[in-house]
Amino acid sequence: MSRAFTVAVAGQPNCGKSTLFNTLTGARQFVANYPGVTVEKRIGLFAHKGDRITLVDLPGTYSLTSYSLEERVARDFLLDESPDLVLNIVDASNLERNLYLTFQLVEMEFPLIVALNMMDIANGRGIDIDPSRLSDELQVPVIPTIGNRGKGKRELREAIWAMCVDKENHGSWVRVDYGEALESVIAPLEVKLSRQAHLASHFPARWLAVKLLEDDPEVRKLVTGAVAERDYRLSHSEQGKDSIDAGE
């Protein structure tokens, strides 16, 4: 019996996401809008081993903090629609910046595949990346690709299908270490949040704790009444604002 899976395609602007999306889906695409906004939603399809894979191209965004419309749209889709898999397109020639979004997806505990795109540009700049080692560090599959040449298409389709059919056994257990000053605040917040059943059943407690410390307005709404305001503003008063800006 044919199965159907949904894959969210996430990446920062200018990572080659649209090109790789087109490479994977070809002409089997259509366009809609995300609910309640005018942001365009591209949806593409491909079949693999008799199963149907639907790819949803999320807006390009540098992070998943809800400050811009694109960030809110991308994050709302991930949280509300719970795709079977997230395909994270990463610009190999600008790896450090692109991994900021990757780490946020890891913290959200989605089944994840990283497409290490633009490998030709990275190589041309003398940047040597070991995909196997990166995969070991992130504990997710990492597939080298060159989207505009179709390189890596077969391997990526196979990896997407394999993880979708066995997603329960695929997940990253990587924890981003923010340093002693931040971890001393994150840990007790994480414990408090994990005790709130209505939150813990829908959101990773550590991800919520980190977003609270970033002063994310949408996460503040989620946890209203779950933790005291002073708990997530503690480091503002005791350690200074700069110590909680995890993205800086």
Task: Report domain 4-169's class.
Answer: alpha beta
DSSP state of 182: H
Residue 238: what pLDDT?
47
- All structural domains of the chain with their residue ranges: 4-169, 180-244
Q: How confident is the model at residue 85 (pLDDT cuts 50, 70, 90)?
A: very high
pLDDT tens per residue across span 206-228: 999 999 888 888 888 888 766 65
Rg (CA), the chain: 19
Instruction: Please report which residue ranges of the chain form alpha helices under DSSP H.
Output: 17-25, 69-81, 95-107, 119-124, 131-138, 153-165, 180-194, 197-200, 205-213, 217-222, 229-232, 234-238
Per-chain mean pLDDT for the chain? 87
pLDDT tens, residue by residue, 101-150: 999 999 888 899 999 999 999 999 999 999 999 999 999 999 999 999 99
Say what the pLDDT of residue 229 is: 53
| Entry pTM | 0.85
